[in-house]
A and B are shown apart, each in its own frame.
Chain A
Amino acid sequence: MLLGPALGVSALLFAIGVGGVLLRRNAIVIFMCVELMLNAVNLTFVALAQQIGPQGQVIVFFVMAVAAAEAAVGLAIILAVYRHKESVNLQDVNLLRG
């Protein structure tokens, strides 16, 4: 039931997330796009679980917990960079060059 469209939507969401990470330069926006990717995968899991069994739905809870932990760590790191640079734009974060 609706497996194809659900997988299509989640693939689209994932692609939007990837595009955002590659094109945007603001660390917060990039982080939001990463979250969008994770949630697109969650949608895939839920859609597949309808056909395969409840395991996919359980995985989603693990992913949500991981995403929450990632948000805590990620925002703290972004804050640490902001303290040094007064900016979260990646163009201003350029001390390390080879």
Chain B
Amino acid sequence: MTPMLIDLSAPAGITLALLPEIVLTGWALILLLVIGWRHGDPDHHRWAGGFTLVGLLVALGTVLWLWRAGATPDGLPLMIALDGFRWATAAIFLIGGIAAVLLAQGYLGRERILVPEFYALVLFAMVGMLLMGGAADLIVVFLGLELMSLSVYVLAGIKRRSPQSAEAALKYFLLGAFASGFLLYGIALLYGATGTTNLQAIALQLADSEIVGRPMLALGAGMLLVGFGFKVSAVPFHMWAPDVYDGAPTPVTAYMAAAVKAAGFAALVRVALTALGDATAAWQTTVWWLAVLTMVVGNLVALAQRRLKRMLAYSSIAHAGYLLVAVAAATTQGGSAFLFYAFAYTLMTVGAFAVLAAVGRDGESDLLIDDFNGLAERRPWLSFALAVFMLSLLGFPGTAGFIGKWLILAAAVDAGQATLAVMVVGASVLSAGYYLPVIMAMYMKPSERAEVAEGARLARGGRLVVAAAAVVLLLFGVWPNRALDVARDSGRQLAVPGVIIGLPR
């Protein structure tokens, strides 16, 4: 297959290279224009949801088309990369976004959050994520991150009647903006140390060992890690995450825990492996400690939670720890492991929050794990799906979560980080202490509150999300070969510039 050469100096080439982003931006602008007049009644709201869904699907189509056509830059990519990593992360974010929109359609109506701007913000945040996954320049990373964050700050506070939602938005905004400051300072210092903000040009500069030794570089890398640490909720920068995940409406929480976190990691992986791949001394030890702390603290605090939404928030912090292990490996194998795990993690997180949204009411903050007692008798399919998500989050063999964790372990061991691999296994054992009780409650305990099971309702979109996520997780748990090949191939392209891109046969 001949790769499609794209000349990034010509307007037509740029348009083609940015096609998914352009589609989404145009879609969001049209949506904003229409809902300026039509926002009053539930019909308009339903229309906005459907329109957004189509936009996300079209964007996913363009991503897959460019991926399959093997779009390759003609020369050095200056601002936006055209490689398998970009397409793979874009597909993961878009799948997360589609799931969140499907979930939101029923949820927003039920909770009477009738603001069609919700969907425009989801689209804008998606553009930011795609730019983060595809950035070839630190400034594009920053702009993508800000576009995503600003939209998600508003999404967290979209339920304006609720003081919890407003509080979540405020906490997220203040700490997010604080983190952006660190990230930007890190970019400035890297720019000062290397004279460029282009990721590949930085990598070329770092071939010179004199530059690698500069304190400005180490300081810049440290500042970047603080910024990214906040965004991906790594311990000790995680204080905002449980409160924000708890206070935001559940579809937004699913979007934040899955796509937003994956986008933060995608940018981190790209910066760490492509730009700073030769300067691992500047960041590897720090990431190592971040990974260990995040796994230990995330899992231990999750053990103490009685409310499911907060437990899932801490579980998502713990999973940030596993993903950091993939980064700490500092190899392209780690990049591949990250891609597969991020895909599985997106599905299981969105699925778990979808079930939570179905069973709970009014923000779902106060739903205890005990409320799930005996759910399996009344709602066998819903319980089965939640059991699959919990087992996959735990990393149980036969689910995609297991394959993902195994890939991360392999990457860590091959990179000589055996201690880290042991920590991952230990942390996973610990996590059984809070994932399994949910399953036990559903299947082994007598029902106490029948009205919880009776009231559990999922709209059509939510049902689709839960079913599709459970099926794909089980499918990739027993038959992961093709997804593994794609992940390996895409991860490999992080380090080697100008490699020929295409889906493996």
The answer on A and B forming one complex is yes
Of residues 150 to 207 in B, which have CB atoms within 8 Å of A's CB atoms?
150, 153-154, 157, 160, 163-164, 166-171, 173-174, 177-178, 180-182, 184-185, 188-189, 191-192, 195-197
| Residues in B neighbouring A45, C-beta threshold 8 A | 188, 191
Given A77-B153, A98-B242, are A52 and B191 neighbors across the interface (CB < 8 Å)? yes
**Nearest-CB distance from A24 to chain B (Å)?**
11
Is A78 interfacial (CB 8 A cutoff)?
yes
B167 and A81 contacting across the interface, CB-CB below 8 Å: yes
Question: Chain B: which residue is nearest A98 at the CB level?
Answer: B242
**Nearest-CB distance from A49 to chain B (Å)?**
9
Of residues 123 to 149 in B, which have CB atoms within 8 Å of A's CB atoms?
139, 142-143, 146
Is B7 interfacial (CB 8 A cutoff)?
no
A14 and B197 contacting across the interface, CB-CB below 8 Å: no
Provide the main secondary structure of the chain B interface: helix
Of residues 39 to 61 in B, which have CB atoms within 8 Å of A's CB atoms?
none
Q: Cα distance A76–B196 when bound, in Å?
A: 36
Is B21 interfacial (CB 8 A cutoff)?
no
| Residues in B neighbouring A97, C-beta threshold 8 A | 243
A95 and B197 contacting across the interface, CB-CB below 8 Å: no
A46-78 vs B: 1/0 string, CB under 8 Å? 001000110110010011001001100110111
- Which of B178, B196, B305 interacts with A98 by CB under 8 Å? B305
B166 and A81 contacting across the interface, CB-CB below 8 Å: yes
Q: Cα distance A95–B244 when bound, in Å?
A: 11
Provide the main secondary structure of the chain A interface: helix
Residue of B189, B191, B244 with highest tally of chain A CB at under 10 A? B191
A63 and B192 contacting across the interface, CB-CB below 8 Å: no
**Nearest-CB distance from A77 to chain B (Å)?**
5
Is A9 interfacial (CB 8 A cutoff)?
no
Is B247 interfacial (CB 8 A cutoff)?
yes
Question: Chain B: which residue is nearest A82 at the CB level?
Answer: B166
User: Interface size (A, Cβ < 8 Å)?
Assistant: 42
Q: Cα distance A95–B171 when bound, in Å?
A: 11
A56 and B191 contacting across the interface, CB-CB below 8 Å: yes
B247 and A62 contacting across the interface, CB-CB below 8 Å: no
**Nearest-CB distance from A40 to chain B (Å)?**
8
Q: Cα distance A34–B89 when bound, in Å?
A: 30
Residue of A17, A48, A97 with highest tally of chain B CB at under 10 A? A48
Q: Cα distance A52–B197 when bound, in Å?
A: 11
**Nearest-CB distance from B360 to chain A (Å)?**
16
B154 and A38 contacting across the interface, CB-CB below 8 Å: no
B181 and A41 contacting across the interface, CB-CB below 8 Å: yes
Q: Cα distance A37–B177 when bound, in Å?
A: 10
Is A12 interfacial (CB 8 A cutoff)?
no
B143 and A81 contacting across the interface, CB-CB below 8 Å: no
| Residues in B neighbouring A83, C-beta threshold 8 A | 166
Is B310 interfacial (CB 8 A cutoff)?
yes
User: Interface size (B, Cβ < 8 Å)?
Assistant: 41
Question: Chain A: which residue is nearest B164 at the CB level?
Answer: A95
A3-23 vs B: 1/0 string, CB under 8 Å? 000010000001001100100
A80-91 vs B: 1/0 string, CB under 8 Å? 110111000000
B167 and A38 contacting across the interface, CB-CB below 8 Å: no
- Which of B153, B181, B243 interacts with A14 by CB under 8 Å? B181
B146 and A41 contacting across the interface, CB-CB below 8 Å: no
Question: Chain B: which residue is nearest A66 at the CB level?
Answer: B146
B243 and A96 contacting across the interface, CB-CB below 8 Å: yes
- Which of B154, B167, B189, B191 interacts with A96 by CB under 8 Å? B167
**Nearest-CB distance from A44 to chain B (Å)?**
4
Is B246 interfacial (CB 8 A cutoff)?
yes
Q: Cα distance A85–B169 when bound, in Å?
A: 14
| Residues in A neighbouring B180, C-beta threshold 8 A | 34, 38, 66, 70
A73 and B178 contacting across the interface, CB-CB below 8 Å: no
**Nearest-CB distance from A53 to chain B (Å)?**
8
A74 and B247 contacting across the interface, CB-CB below 8 Å: no
Question: Chain B: which residue is nearest A74 at the CB level?
Answer: B173
- Which of A31, A55, A96 interacts with B246 by CB under 8 Å? A96
A95 and B188 contacting across the interface, CB-CB below 8 Å: no
Q: Cα distance A4–B164 when bound, in Å?
A: 46
A41 and B185 contacting across the interface, CB-CB below 8 Å: yes
A34 and B166 contacting across the interface, CB-CB below 8 Å: no
B150 and A73 contacting across the interface, CB-CB below 8 Å: yes
Given contacts A45-B191, A77-B173, 8 further A-B contacts (CB under 8 A): A40-B185, A48-B188, A52-B195, A74-B173, A84-B166, A93-B171, A97-B243, A98-B301
Interface residues of A (CB under 8 A from B): 7, 14, 17-18, 21, 27, 30-31, 34, 37-38, 40-41, 44-45, 48, 52-53, 55-56, 59, 62-63, 66, 69-70, 73-74, 76-78, 80-81, 83-85, 93-98
Identify 22 residue pairs between A and B in the complex whose beta-carbon atoms are under 8 Å apart, listed by A's number.
A17-B181, A37-B182, A41-B185, A41-B188, A44-B192, A48-B188, A52-B191, A56-B188, A59-B139, A59-B191, A63-B142, A66-B143, A66-B180, A73-B154, A77-B154, A81-B166, A81-B169, A83-B166, A85-B163, A93-B171, A95-B247, A98-B305
Interface residues of B (CB under 8 A from A): 139, 142-143, 146, 150, 153-154, 157, 160, 163-164, 166-171, 173-174, 177-178, 180-182, 184-185, 188-189, 191-192, 195-197, 242-244, 246-247, 301, 305, 310
